[in-house]
A and B are shown apart, each in its own frame.
Chain A
Amino acid sequence: AQTVTQSQPEMSVQEAETVTLSCTYDTSESDYYLFWYKQPPSRQMILVIRQEAYKQQNATENRFSVNFQKAAKSFSLKISDSQLGDAAMYFCAYSDNQGGKLIFGQGTELSVKP
């Protein structure tokens, strides 16, 4: 069975600094997708970034980028120039090609200090 692990329950970053959130996963599949979702206090889940496993190039979305290490089954999220609005719970998630099931990690609560 596939699993997703986030080993950092809480992280803190100074405004304008860079922070990296860690995620590891386990799967026997070769074709799959990885995601980072943001859940602010409003509880609305928002997709931050998506990575397709067959693409070696790391995904980037503005200030957000990932470091995808397929062999190590590692998928970290880097947030550059952190802003107060980045404060939220961040979830790493996995999906294969077979259906709509997202498997989530336990989450990392990110706080941003002014």
Chain B
Amino acid sequence: KAGVTQTPRYLIKTRGQQVTLSCSPISGHRSVSWYQQTPGQGLQFLFEYFSETQRNKGNFPGRFSGRQFSNSRSEMNVSTLELGDSALYLCASSKGLAGGRNEQFFGPGTRLTVL
């Protein structure tokens, strides 16, 4: 069974640009969550999608948005990039709504560098 895949794996952008990251969950998984990992702030929850609906949102500005498609694949978008958006973006999928009962399986991440 294929794991969670994220594309692209590495991305370099300049300030002010926008970026779209993609996440394909494990087959049969309907929940996708996104996390940002930086050396200073650690791992922070961005949002969770389940059946194409955003179920939970972290404390990030509106420049960060996401969506989920009917095949459970998810994308996240960051507009007007700032230097501080440089981070590893991790996606995780689970069978049902994530949380304690359903294990979250993580992808390898997308490393975003903003110059």
Q: Which residues of A contact B (CB under 8 A)?
A: 32-33, 42-47, 50, 52, 91, 95-107
Return B101 CB to nearest CB of chain A, in Å. 7
Interface residues in B1-52 (C-beta closer than 8 Å to A): 31, 33, 35, 42-45, 48, 50
Interface size class of B (residues with CB under 8 A): 20 to 34
Q: Mark B83-104, 1 if CB is under 8 A from A, else 0.
A: 0000010101010011111011
Return B98 CB to nearest CB of chain A, in Å. 3
A100 close to B97 (CB less than 8 A)? yes
Known: A100-B56, A105-B42. 11 other contacts (CB 8 A): A32-B100, A43-B108, A44-B108, A96-B100, A97-B100, A99-B99, A100-B98, A101-B56, A101-B98, A102-B45, A107-B42
Chain A binding surface SS class = loop
Chain A residues, CB < 8 A from B35: 102
Chain A residues, CB < 8 A from B88: 43
Which residue of A is nearest B93, CB measured? A100
Listed from nearest, the 8 A-B pairs whose CB atoms lie closest are A33-B100, A100-B98, A100-B48, A45-B106, A104-B43, A99-B56, A100-B33, A101-B45
Bound CA span A32–B45, Å = 17
Return A94 CB to nearest CB of chain B, in Å. 9
**B109 CB–A CB distance under 8 Å:** yes
B100 close to A50 (CB less than 8 A)? yes
A–B pairs, 12, beta carbons within 8 Å: A43-B108, A44-B107, A47-B105, A95-B100, A96-B99, A99-B55, A99-B56, A99-B98, A101-B45, A104-B43, A105-B42, A107-B43
